[in-house]
Structure formats: structure tokens, C-alpha cells
Structure 1
């Protein structure tokens, strides 16, 4: 199949074509969250099974998507959008608070959103891996958004004299890898800790990056190495 089928146009049942299309898409994504994020998983799901779970036809599927990979791509973006919205809300609510409190509030919001539904964890950290070069590029692009967010917060903290001035990109990239790995392992039951303990550990790691040994509040940069 080279492309999607054309969806019907005009009003039906009091809803516009655009409203019906949005509703169908939402139902397919909700069904995908259940099938991809729980059992049987993305690789064992068929178009027919997904359509049945959504209460829609396979024809309606092809009016919205070309392949199941398109569904997984859309679902991965949606799950990341939910987490990003939670973080941005926490950013706004923590405005003006000391750095440690601000970082803690932000990570609590992120962790609560990501781990609140085990299906989201599986979509973000398991099902998306190794599917195709296209989805790998998408996964890395979304991770880069999180790196950019950490860098922006670090640079703002440095400008306020709450953190060291430096290029944070490599450190932020490494830190995001730690976040993803620890939250995945915790959700899989491989880490014996409460979610609060996990968040506290991540906060300590980030504060250690922002305020390394030898840095003092108000200092604009790290101390120079001794000759």
C-alpha cells in the first residue's frame, strides 16, 4: 500500500469530517497504548487486532495510517508530549524557587508522569528500540529535546549564580541516559527503592553536575586547575 485511503468528507452524526478523523485517530492510539505497551507488544500486534481493539475497521485504519510503525511513531511522540507538558507545568510552578527545590519539583513531575502508567515506560524505553532507522532517529531527536531542556535550565541557573558556567551538553546527554536507564530499571523491578528515592538520587546527580567540587555560590565559573 503506497498511501492512506481517503477518509470520508462532510458532516455525519453532528460531527465534521475533521472531528470524526480526530476521534478515530485517538481511538487507534488508545488501543495501541494498550496492545503495544502491554500485551502482546508492538511486534506481535496486527492491523486487524489493533482495529478490533479500537472498535474500528481495517479500512478506517488505513484512512489514518499507512503502517503499524506509523502508529508506534505517533504514540511515542504522544507519550513524550505528555511528559514534556508535565515538566513545563512544573517549571512554571517552581519559578523563583532555589535551584535544589526547583530541580526536585521538575524531576518529581517527570517521574510521576512517565512511571504513572507502565505502558508509557514500555513504549518509551522498550518497544521503540530497534524498530527502524526512522524511529531511531525520532527517538534520538526527542531525547535531544530533553538534553536541550537540561542545558537551558543549567545555563539559566549559572546566570543566576546558582551553578557553574560551562558547556553542559555532554554532561546533560550523559545525565538523560542515566534518567532513562534508572527509571526503566526501577519500573521493571530491578531497583529496590521507592520512586521518591529514585528521584532524590537523580536530583543529587544533577546537582553534582551543576555544582561540582570546588565551585562556590556566586562564582561565575569553575576554578582553574593548578599549574
Structure 2
């Protein structure tokens, strides 16, 4: 199928067409999280299997999406949005509490890690299933990585203005840290790193603080 079918309009069962569409999309995404993030994985899932898991038809699938990659793309963005929101809330709470740099950075990263690792399916979507799918998905992955780099740089510059960190360009350092997060969490989730999640998070927090502290700390 190369295009979506036309959608019905009007009310049915007390719900508008937009409400029914949102419900179908939600069910497809929930099914995608289960199948892509669990078993059998994105590459071994078919439209028929995803539709069956959602309790919907393949016709309804093509009303909402063009391909399975569209579902993976939406899930990857959603998982990143959840983690970004968790980090932003933790940062606001830390700022409101007036926490020093080390405690603030640790609180923000732990909030991120708790969100993305609290559900093993989210880890797999974020760090495994999206890799190597297509040029389009690689661009999306890099765009979202750039947003995390911007997030770290903004906090580093704020810390520098408060006199808590060196005033310098943090972009390369932030990119190195994000690469470490992605690589370590990917390897841990696939069983290549024999350590508890708490140990993984502790090590990454140490790396982050090493980037943000003044050079003579």
C-alpha cells in the first residue's frame, strides 16, 4: 500500500471520528511497543501481526500508517518525549530546591534513566530496534540525539553562569556523553555488560559530573 485510505467522518458510538482515530492510533502504538520492544522485534513483525495484537484490521492500519516503519518512528519519538519530560520535571524540581551542580545533574540523569529503563521495551526501541533500519530512521535518531546534546549544553552554560562550571563550549563533550549513554545502555540491554542498572547509572552520572565540574575541582 502506498497511501492511506480515507477516514470516516461523523459520530459513531458517541465518539467523533477524531476520537476514534486517536483510539486506533493509540492501540497500534501499544501493540508496536509490545511487539517491537519485546518479541518478535521490529524486523520480524508483520502488519497482520501488529493489527491482530492491536485488535484491529489491516485496513484500519493503513488508515493510520503507511508502513511499519511509521509505527517504529512514532514509538521512538514517543519514548524520547517521555524521557525528555521526565528530565525536564527533575530539572525544574532541582532548580526549585536550589540543589548544587552535582546533586542537580545526578537527579536529572537518574530521572531520565528511570524513565527509559523502567520498561525494557522502551530500552529496546530507543537503543536497539531503530539502529540500521533506514536512512530516514538514522536521521531521526541523530536529530533526537542533538536535542539531548542541546539539553546538556544549556544546563552546562547555566552552571557556568552560576560559577559552578567552566565557561566553555560543551558541545563535543555533551556529544561524547550521549554516545556513552547510548552505547552503554544498548550493550547492557543486550547482555554484553554484566552489571546492575544502578551501577550503570552511577557510572554515567560520574561521567556527566566529570564534564560539568570546574577543571580544578
Please say whether Structure 1 and Structure 2 have the same fold, judged by a TM-score greater than 0.5.
yes
Unaligned runs of 5+ in 1: 217-227
Larger radius of gyration: 1
Report how far residue 185 of structure 1 moved: 2.2
Report how far residue 198 of structure 1 moved: 2.0
Report how far residue 202 of structure 1 moved: 1.4
1:183-212 C-alpha deviation (Å, 9 max, x unpaired): 222233333333232222112111111225
Q: In 2, distance between residues paired with 1:19 and 1:175?
A: 41
Report how far residue 65 of structure 1 moved: 0.3
Paired positions, count: 215
Residue 92 of structure 1: aligned partner: 92
Residue 132 of structure 1: aligned partner: 134
CA contact (8 A) 1:115 1:187 kept: no
Residue 67 of structure 1: aligned partner: 67
Q: In 2, distance between residues paired with 1:102 and 1:90?
A: 8
Residue 104 of structure 2: aligned partner: 102
Residue 32 of structure 2: aligned partner: 32
Unaligned runs of 5+ in 2: none
CA contact (8 A) 2:124 2:189 kept: no
Q: After the TM superposition, which segments of 4 or more aligned residues of structure 1 sit over 6 Å from their partners? A: none
Q: In 2, distance between residues paired with 1:99 and 1:28?
A: 41
Give the 5 Å matches for 1:14-29: 14-29=14-29
1:39-70 C-alpha deviation (Å, 9 max, x unpaired): 11111111111000000001100000011111
**1:43 equivalent in alignment to 2:35:** no
Residue 221 of structure 1: aligned partner: none
Correspondence for 2:194 among 185, 192, 195: 192
TM norm structure 2: 0.95
Report how far residue 122 of structure 1 moved: 0.8
* RMSD between superposed Cα atoms in Å: 1.2
CA contact (8 A) 2:123 2:186 kept: yes
TM norm structure 1: 0.91
